[in-house]
Amino acid sequence: MNAATVTATTPDKDWWRGAVIYQIYPRSYQDSNGDGIGDLRGITARLPHVAALGADAIWISPFFTSPMKDFGYDVANYIDVDPMFGSLGDFDMLMAEAHRLGIKVMIDLVISHTSDQHPWFVESRSSRINARSDWYVWSDPKPDGTPPNNWLSIFGGSAWAWDPTRMQYYLHNFLTSQPDLNLHNPQVQEAVLDVVRFWLKRGVDGFRLDTINFYFHDRHLRDNPPLAPERRNAATAPAVNPYNFQEHIYDKNQPENLEFLKRFRAVLEEFPAIAAVGEVGDSQFGLEIVGQYTSGGDKMQMCYAFEFLSPDPLTPSLVANTQQAFERAAPEGWACWAFSNHDVVRHVSRWGAEVVDRDAFAKLTAAILLTQRGSVCLYQGEELGLTEAVLSYEDLQDPYGKEFWPEFKGRDGCRTPMVWDSHSHQSGFSSAEKPWLPIPVEHHLRSVSEQQGHDGSVLEQYRRFLTFRKQHEALIKGEIVFHTVSEALLVYERRLGNQAVLCAFNLSAQSQDLVLPQGVWQALDGHGFVAETAGDRVNLPAWGAYFASNDL
């Protein structure tokens, strides 16, 4: 067998390193049957959009059987598709079409907890002596009848719910209808790994692991200590949530998780070229945990924390400090960065609320994200420059938003339906009279049909920049070296082998002058930004960028 044959037939086990992963929230992507809710057939029909964008993979948020109390993140059957989204056959067709287009498919696994309607929990709560009695986290009350400790739920209130049949409390880090699995039990681990094998045998290319650091709890159920007010950070939970008042050292982030992740990785290695990215839901120890979970080559290929998903404004120092902190915490690891997802305010609104030229801001932030060291997740609609939707309380679906309204308005504002054709009913998302969430008027004007083919649009800039990125391997897998980090200017190099790509950004509404670092720099084109140059000086317009190469 010659080298060419090996290259053509051997899967690239490293495909995930530097990949651009496009997140699809299935309820809101494309409705194929007119019920107002997106589905798998709808995703399949819209995959050419993902291919045209230039993404390497898709991550599909949960589509498993579920009572939808948390919209799929409460799983009642891990190995079937909820009828709302279609069938296993529909999923197989989606997989086939994605692979035909050269797109990898990653699915969202939620294994820290299940729905209370999952048969495992139904059996577990039926008595204290059944075969699955220890599959969830059960505890007797304190002598006065109160919960066993002070742990809090991210969705508000105690993390313990009383069950009158067992006369015990069960742990739920999220909704009371989302009981936590007891992964200290080897049988639970085996059951979860069987789920992993089921989907790998079906052909998926990888997984996004929801709340990966919540898998294990402290066996002794010790109280979390209080957190000093100055250390309370709203990245894990909204600022109005008392969850931020504790140091979460016992209810999650347990050392036993490292061994389980090795077992998980071993299952992935049974199949060719599989990758997983873990969501580390922790604002206190996020990068430290990412470092642990991605070290050694025997756990997660990549993880992401919340540094770029928090309310903190995007500044040159935030970018530099985050990358440098990651390098210290995870010298062997690989990050997966995102600016938006289904749980946070869309970044164009979160960071750009005061920006006059939102399109220019959207283009600049895309270029910054797509030149970071690490892989990248783009969230559906981000490529259109969609803003956070402002919804009335009557339109809310998210239980999180209902709990903390109006100080925190929940996650529905970033989950409104995708807009495809401004001249079609419901912008081409659905033929239903009323979709599951309303589409804001301003989104209709930013549809794919309105932007496609218009050179100055946000959509065409995303497509252009993704093409530019693929032309320079240093932007995909290279190291990152910072040069200028000021109030407005952010300048760094991406280096790989003998290639260096200089990336310079102006994060302000005023033009900025920049002196290039030492070296012979050749300006690059094809990225969609324009800057004036004179020798070693560059004038960056407001929200502008400049790129150059240097063969080392």
- Bridging pattern class, strands 138-139 and 168-171: antiparallel
Q: Is 210 a catalytic residue?
A: yes
Q: Check residue 231 and give its pLDDT.
A: 82
pLDDT for position 236: 73
CB within 8 A of 372, min separation 6: which ones? 319, 323, 335, 337, 480
User: Cα(11)–Cα(298) distance, rounded to whole angstroms?
Assistant: 19
Residue 134 has which token pair?
């220890």
Q: Tell me, what's the pLDDT at 235?
A: 61
| pLDDT for the residue 2 | 42
Domains and CATH numbers, the chain: 14-114+186-468 (3.20.20.80), 479-551 (2.60.40.1180)
Annotated active-site residue in 163, 210, 251, 450? 210
List 335's β-bridge partners, or say none.
303
pLDDT at 552: 62
Residue 22: strand pairing partners: 58, 378
Cα-to-chain-centroid distance, residue 285: 18
Residue 407 is among the residues annotated as catalytic for this protein: no
Tokens 């079937």 correspond to 80
Please give the Cα distance from 140 to 160 (Å, whole number): 11
From the candidates 270, 298, 479, 487, give the one annotated as an active-site residue.
Answer: 270
Distance CA 516, CA 520 (A): 9
Predicted local confidence at residue 122, as pLDDT:
98
The amino acid sitting at 273 is A
pLDDT of residue 9: 65
pLDDT of 7: 47
- Could you give the CA distance from residue 60 to residue 340 in angstroms, rounded to a whole number? 15
Task: Tell me the two tokens of residue 247.
Answer: 């140091």
Which helix (H) or strand (E) element contains residue 494? strand 489-496
Residues of the chain with pLDDT under 70: 1-9, 233-235, 552
> How many CA atoms, within 13 angstroms, populate the side-chain half-sphere of residue 393?
7
CB-based contacts of 269-275 (< 8 A; 24+ apart in sequence): 270/197, 270/200, 271/200, 272/11, 272/13, 273/11, 273/12, 273/13, 273/15, 273/205, 274/200, 274/204, 274/205, 274/206, 275/15, 275/16, 275/19, 275/106, 275/205, 275/206, 275/301, 275/302
Q: What is the 3-state secondary structure (H, E, C) of 306-334?
A: CCCCCCCCCCHHHHHHHHHHHHHHCCCCC
pLDDT recorded at residue 5: 40
User: Residue 4 has what pLDDT?
Assistant: 41
Distance between CA atoms of residues 346 and 349, nearest Å = 6
d(CA 340, CA 238): 16
Q: pTM for the whole thing? A: 0.96
pLDDT at position 286 is 86
